[in-house]
Amino acid sequence: MLSGCGTTKVKTGTDQLLMSNAVDLTVGNLDFSDIAGEKVYLDSKYVVAVKGFGFVNANYIVSALRQQLFAHNCELVDSVDAADYVVEPRVGALGADSQTITYGIPGNNSLGAFTALIPSVPTVPILPEISVAKRDDSSGLAKISVFVYDKNERTPIWQSGVNYARSTSNDMWIFGAGPLQWGTIYDEPKFAGHRVNTDFFNIAKWFERPRYTSTAENKPKYHSEFSFNDALQPTVLPAEYQGPVRPNSEAGTLAPGEPNSVTPPANAQPLK
């Protein structure tokens, strides 16, 4: 009743997810708040040589960095001459690793190879794998470092330091049945590609994807968590702008255009 058989044949898509997820996690930790609103040039000359795997290459990394800069309201320019600050990224690692663990007796042909040396002894067939459980762990690793410097003064402004992230994908077979899948590339644990009901099968909660629980206000936001409407909300109003009529406790109801009839945002400046 506990036996079964499950096989994962092709993992090309999983490998690409691992590498792209590692890039997203790494870029998501970059906080460009120090140059928010400034004219910056993204110097990608040390990234363009990255080949990567499949679609996860130099173009994917550069696009992720550009989107992260836009998320922090930076003004990207096309040439270094038009910029005030230069953002220079470099890639230290981009790849995938995997390892397999067998809980039991792995299959081998050592005894058969030994008996083949003795003519009078019949050849012993390959011993099959006898395992209670089997686990296949894959991971993607990306290391992307960035520093920012003033174009004119040639002075450092900000650096990310050693910044890398590892994405994971774990497959487990129990008595041959599976795989039970969990890791950072999955929103929830799965069994042979199908969703696992964690309310019914509570053991699956052990493998749920860890979630960020910090409440720090200065937590950097990745572009997928960033609201562009908030970042790009206009704060400059024309001088002739007239807002809605608002009541005033001392002067009664003011007509449009009269003084104190408009309460602009705290950081709004009239157009010149």
Q: How far is CA 41 from CA 46, 108, 111, in A?
A: 14, 57, 64
Residues 185-196 have pLDDT tens digits of 888 788 877 777
Whether the predicted model's global pTM rises above the 0.85 cut:
no
Mean of the pLDDT values across residues 118-140?
78
State pLDDT tens for residues 224-246: 554 444 444 444 444 554 555 44
Domain spans, the chain: 12-98+139-168+185-231, 238-272
Residue 212: pLDDT band by 50, 70, 90 thresholds? very low
Quick one: pLDDT at residue 75? Answer: 93
Query: How far apart are the C-alpha atoms of 55 and 37, rounded to whole Å?
Result: 31
For 8-58, the pLDDT digits (tens) are: 555 788 888 899 999 999 998 899 999 999 999 999 999 988 887 778 899
Angle at 33 between CA 29 and CA 39, to 5 degrees: 120
Query: Does residue 219 carry a pLDDT above 80?
Result: no
Task: Give the pairing type, strands 39-42 and 75-76.
Answer: parallel
What Å distances lie between residue 64 and 24, 58, 159, 238, CA to CA? 7, 10, 17, 35
Q: Which of 115, 112, 108, 113 is nearest to 129 (CA)?
A: 108
Residue with the two structure tokens 């960035």: 146
